A = this chain, B = another copy of it.
């Protein structure tokens, strides 16, 4: 075997996807947005231990990767809302498989809780 693997893995779609969703808060943010918690302040409240800076960074990265969209309303005080793009919504099968694996192998059935925000 050659050592071409590293070169290949630069273009590996698995690795590439992990880079997009792998950030500490990214799937959580996607989850919040898909549940209409899509403003900076609200998100910050839900993600108890996140700093503003971290939240900003994660949102910007998701935006740059085309997963979410940022809509600025010309109001004062400022209002910004985030939405999933079509690309972002295409992550659904990935997330479902992550969930399946977690439910089957990692989380005791009774304790599992997903997709319920207790609004």
Q: Which residues of A does B touch, CB under 8 Å? A: 1-6, 8-9, 11-18, 20, 22, 27-28, 31, 37, 45-49, 66, 87, 90-91, 93-107, 111-114, 116-119
Known: A2-B118, A14-B31. 11 other contacts (CB 8 A): A1-B118, A6-B46, A12-B102, A13-B100, A13-B101, A16-B102, A17-B99, A17-B101, A18-B27, A91-B101, A94-B94
Chain B proximity of A3: nearest CB distance (Å):
7
Chain B proximity of A40: nearest CB distance (Å):
16
Q: How many copies does the complex hold?
A: 2
Q: Is the CB of B13 within 8 A of A103?
A: yes
A-B pairs with lowest CB-CB distance, top 3: A13-B102, A1-B119, A16-B106
Q: List, in ascending order, chain B residues with CB within 8 A of A98's CB.
A: 13-14, 17-18, 94
